[in-house]
Structure 1
Amino acid sequence: MPNPNVVVVVEDDADIRSLIVAVLEPSGFVVHTAVDGADGIEVVRRTDPAVTTLDVSMPGLDGFETARRIREFSSTRILMVSARVDPAEERLARAAGADDYLTKPFRPRELRARIQALVADGGS
Structure 2
Amino acid sequence: MPDTCTAVVIEDDADVGRLVQTVLSATGMQVRLTATGTDGVAAVRGHCPDLVVLDYGLPDITGLEVIRLIRSFSAVQILMLTGHDDLTETLLSAGASAVMTKPFRVRALREQVEKMRVSHLEEIL
Counting aligned pairs with the same residue, the percent is 36
- Return the letter of the residue paired with 1:10: I
Contact persistence 1:4–1:50 (CA under 8 A):
no
Cα deviations by residue, 1:14-63 (Å, 9 ceiling, x for unpaired): 00001101111121111111101100001001111111011011121110
Q: Which runs of 5+ in 1 are unaligned?
A: none
Residue in structure 2 matched with residue 11 of structure 1 by the alignment:
11
Mapping of 1:89-100 within 5 angstroms? Answer: 89-100=87-98
In the alignment, residue 25 of structure 2 is paired with which amino acid?
Answer: E
* Alignment RMSD (CA, Å): 1.4
Q: Does 1:29 align with 2:29?
A: yes
Shift, 1:85, TM fit:
2.2
Matches of 2:47 and 2:109, distance apart in 1:
21
- For residues 52-108 of structure 1, the C-alpha deviation after alignment (integer angstroms, 9 at most, x for no partner) is 01101112111000001001111110011001222xx10110121101000111111
> Do 1:4 and 1:119's aligned partners in 2 also have CA atoms closer than 8 Å?
no
Give the 3-state SS of the residue equivalent to 1:90 in structure 2.
helix
In structure 2, what residue type is equivalent to 1:116?
E
Q: Secondary structure at the match of 2:104?
A: coil
Q: Is residue 38 of structure 1 aligned with residue 38 of structure 2?
A: yes
Compute the TM-score of the two structures, normalised by the length of structure 1.
Answer: 0.91
Where does structure 2 lack aligned partners over 5 or more consecutive residues?
Answer: none
The structure that is strand-richer by fraction is 1
Give the Cα separation in 2 of the matches to 1:77 and 1:4: 16
Contact residue 4 and residue 30 of structure 2 kept, 8 A: no
Query: Which residue is 1:53 aligned to?
Result: 53
- Is the contact between residue 82 and residue 102 of structure 2 (CA under 8 Å) also seen in structure 1? yes
Hey, which bits of structure 1, 4+ residues long, moved more than 2 A? Answer: none
TM-score, scaled relative to structure 2? 0.91
> Distance between the aligned counterparts of 2:24 and 2:120, measured in 1?
17
